[in-house]
Amino acid sequence: MSVSEADIAFALELFEGLGPLSTRRMMGGLCLYRDGVIFALLRSDGSLWLKGSGAFAARVTAEGWERWTHARTGQRPTAMPYWRLPDAALDDPDHACNLAREALRDLT
């Protein structure tokens, strides 16, 4: 299954406050970039995930955000560096953009 055009439009509108974004379809989903740096994934189920490292990753882990894990057939699940955007941020573009900016600070 691939990501829907409606979900892509929603994600781009949600993060519009970050300035110009670019995207790339990948593995049935969509990667979102700001200034060439990937900061979020839009999965085919419509869920949005922020990429994290450093202080941002530590904070969202401590807050209990859901972390994306990937399991290949016959192998143990691997924790990926992406955390699901909280529902409150999905309804608040300012909040979503602030979280994305925080994530980007540790990614650049």
- State the pTM of this model: 0.91
According to the model, what pLDDT value does residue 14 have?
98
7 to 4, 43, 73, 99: CA distances (angstroms): 5, 9, 28, 19
In terms of Cβ atoms closer than 10 Å to its own Cβ (0-12, 13-18, 19+), residue 14 is: buried
Domain 5-107: CATH superfamily, name plus number: YgaC/TfoX-N like chaperone (3.30.1460.30)
Encode 30-60: b = buried (16+ Cβ within 10 Å), e = exposed.
bbbebeeebbbbbbeeebbbbbbeeebbeeb
Reading the chain (108 residues) residue by residue, the pLDDT tens digits are: 689 999 999 999 999 999 999 999 987 899 999 999 999 999 999 999 999 999 999 999 999 999 999 888 888 989 999 999 999 999 999 999 999 999 999 997
Locate the domains of the chain by residue range: 5-107
